[in-house]
Amino acid sequence: MARRPAPRRRPAARRRPAARRGGSRIRWDKVGRIALTLVLGAVLFSYFSPALDLVKTYRATSEAKAELRGLQKENRGLHDRVQSADDPAVLEREARRQGMVVPGERAYVVQGLRG
């Protein structure tokens, strides 16, 4: 059997662009610029909240550091008081402030000093 050649196809007719009846009413360059501006605005807006959180965190950290320094200073003072509590002069001064006397010492009570 002999093979028949495939039928030839005619090339499709090339379409020519239709002549425009005036300029396009849509200014695509302006549309592109507006869209780009909106996208840029959305990106900047998305950074707004994290930036505020960063500022708040920085302020809170500064306040916490200041409070820490004050507490460390108070801790040093209390530590010094604890270390000096074993000193005999300090013990005697605190005992006298509470009204205690050394054994063999005569205690005096003075009345009527308040005016």
Token pair, residue 46, equals: 């998305």
Return the exposure string of 88-101: e unless at least 16 CB atoms fall within 10 Å of the residue's CB, then b.
eeeeeeeeeeeeee
The whole-number average pLDDT for the span 102-106 is 88
CA distances from 66 to 13, 35, 53, 101 (A): 83, 48, 20, 44
Which residues of 1-115 form beta strands (DSSP E)?
A: none
49-74 pLDDT, tens digit per residue, is 999 999 999 999 999 999 999 999 99
d(CA 92, CA 101) in angstroms, rounded, equals 9
pLDDT attached to residue 9: 81
21-55 pLDDT, tens digit per residue, is 666 788 888 999 999 999 999 999 999 999 999 99
